[in-house]
A and B are shown apart, each in its own frame.
Chain A
Amino acid sequence: AQSVAQPEDQVNVAEGNPLTVKCTYSVSGNPYLFWYVQYPNRGLQFLLKYITGDNLVKGSYGFEAEFNKSQTSFHLKKPSALVSDSALYFCAVRDDTGFQKLVFGTGTRLLVSP
């Protein structure tokens, strides 16, 4: 079965510094990967997805993710963090059975300090 792992419960970064939120995946076929963000008292918002093509995927709010097949990783990145980026971030992978549901990680809380 497909799975994703988010090894860090929380990431702390100072405003203006680059940020990385890590995600590794395990799939039996081709990986189809997603990042979502959840702000307090809100639902999940879609950030970006990797289906095929360039390993660097650009998404909303200045975020991008780097797909690395050899390391089975799909890390979320941003060159310069904002305090408003503080939120819960979820990585997800598409299942390859049935109707190909999304399998989510446990989430990483990003805290950007002023």
Chain B
Amino acid sequence: ETGVTQTPRHLVMGMTNKKSLKCEQHLGHNAMYWYKQSAKKPLELMFVYSLEERVENNSVPSRFSPECPNSSHLFLHLHTLQPEDSALYLCASSQDLLAGFTDTQYFGPGTRLTVL
């Protein structure tokens, strides 16, 4: 596979469930991102990892827990979510945060999450 892949593509969970979203990039990039996309709202940056170290945690509730075991994989662990957390969760990667202004992000297809 090429590019950025995400699994599962769709997820329905109850408020008491625990689930995980997975992202994998095949581009040899050093930085990975989680975004939340809700209808009629700008994309919300949630977390950023550079070389497996978290560099940004954008005031995200603790019920979202990221994990980056290596530069190719990124997870988002979910527990005790709320219905308002229902959204499209997008993963992205980019070559290197140190590239600065020219660094371009490439996105996966997203996971459509529904919290009942």
A residues neighboring B (CB under 8 Å): 30, 32, 34, 36, 41-46, 49, 51, 90, 94, 98-107
Contacts and interface: CB of A to CB of B under 8 A. Distances in A.
Interface of B: 4, 6, 40-43, 45, 48, 50, 55-56, 90-92, 97, 100-110, 112
A5 to B, nearest CB: 10
Closest 3 CB pairs of A and B: A43-B107, A44-B107, A32-B101
A39 B104 CA distance: 19
B107 to A, nearest CB: 4
Given A41-B109, A98-B56, A106 B101 contact: no
A49 to B, nearest CB: 6
Nearest to A48: B104
14 contacts: A30-B101, A34-B104, A41-B109, A42-B109, A43-B4, A43-B108, A43-B110, A44-B107, A46-B107, A51-B102, A99-B48, A99-B97, A100-B103, A103-B42
A48 B48 CA distance: 22
Contact of B107 (A30, A45, A51, A103): A45
